[in-house]
Amino acid sequence: MIEELFEGVYRIDSEIATLNLTPGVRVYGEKLVRREGREYRLWNPYRSKLAAAIMLGLKQLPLSRSTRVLYLGAAQGTTASHVSDIAREGVVYCVELSPRAMQSLLRVAEARENLIPILANAAKPESYCYLLEKVDLVYQDIAQAEQTEILLKNLRAYLKKNGHFVHLIKARSIDVTAEPEEVFKRELEKLTRAGARVLQALRLEPYEKDHLLVLGRFSGATPHTQDR
């Protein structure tokens, strides 16, 4: 039995999957399943934080066939490839700092015309401004201490007004001495002070330790400005 959980995301038995944009091609050794004449890629929640969030009860996924995505910290392209499956008529701009990870990401992009690799530092969004347009969704999964500040820079530069963001807060990358709950609280306060509206905050245990996925919207205005 196949159940569509979100646009382009399916439950097949007890697992989740996306419809394979490149039939017959695997990205990270995932299992391919054929049902009703179509091929699906099983989405491993231990390999993808977005898959983990879906398994744990994510209430909304702001992705559709035509979504334009800025993906910060795409690494080897595991999650980005599933985003590419969903936004099959859109585009996924993948920013990655590591040249080694970029080699793998380039191989993924060879078969996916909607996935655009960008070797750059997400902390310097001006360095890739000539490659980008305004996007519908900013997805960030980076391990730098200033990760929330980096997200906000990119939201202001590239997100459409009232667009969505997904932010993976990695507590141990920010402060190894503080309790994760305290780190999460501080980072959420930074987002709201900057004018972001948090729609859901979801811990990712047991799939990921000390991680919080934050889904939100960003208007570009602070709450004080919005009240005027």
Domain with 177 in it: what CATH number?
Answer: 3.40.50.150
Residue in 228, 167, 225 with CA at minimum distance from that of residue 194 = 225
In a domain, 1, yes or no: no
Cα gap 164→217, rounded to integer Å: 4
Residue in 113, 114, 50, 96 with CA at minimum distance from that of residue 105 = 96
Residue of higher predicted confidence among 137 and 133: 137
In a domain, 57, yes or no: yes
Show the DSSP H helices in 2-146 as ranges.
49-55, 78-86, 99-110
In a domain, 189, yes or no: yes
Q: What share of the chain is helix, strand, coil (3-state, %, to 5)?
A: 30, 30, 35
Q: How many domains does the chain have?
A: 1
Q: What residues have CB less than 8 Å from 208, skipping those under 6 apart?
A: 49, 52
Average confidence (pLDDT) over 54-61: 97
Cα gap 115→25, rounded to integer Å: 15
Count CA within 13 A, CB hemisphere, residue 122. 30
Q: What residues have CB less than 8 Å from 220, skipping those under 6 apart?
A: 155, 156, 159, 161, 195
Question: In what side-by-side order are the strands of the sheet with 2-6?
Answer: 2-6, 9-12, 15-19, 38-42, 32-35
Confidence bin at 228 (pLDDT 50/70/90): very low
pLDDT at residue 224 tops 50: no
Q: Which domain holds residue 143?
A: 44-227
Structure tokens at 50: 């977005």
In a domain, 9, yes or no: no
In a domain, 26, yes or no: no
In a domain, 138, yes or no: yes
pLDDT at residue 226 tops 70: no
pLDDT at residue 208 tops 50: yes
In a domain, 38, yes or no: no
At residue 220, the pLDDT reads 72
Residue in 155, 75, 59, 139 with CA at minimum distance from that of residue 107 = 75
Q: Are strands 38-42 and 15-19 parallel, antiparallel or unpaired?
A: antiparallel
Angle made by CA atoms 86, 167, 61, in degrees to the nearest 5: 35
Average confidence (pLDDT) over 207-211: 95
Count CA within 13 A, CB hemisphere, residue 96. 21
pLDDT at residue 225 tops 80: no
Q: What are the CA-CA distances from residue 1 to residues 12, 13, 83, 199 (Å)?
A: 6, 6, 23, 30
Q: For the segment 139-182, what is each residue's pLDDT rounded down to a tens digit?
A: 999 999 999 999 999 999 999 999 999 999 999 999 999 999 99
Percentage of residues in the chain having pLDDT higher than 70: 96
Confidence bin at 109 (pLDDT 50/70/90): very high
Mean of per-residue pLDDT scores for the chain: 94
Average confidence (pLDDT) over 180-190: 95
Average confidence (pLDDT) over 127-132: 87
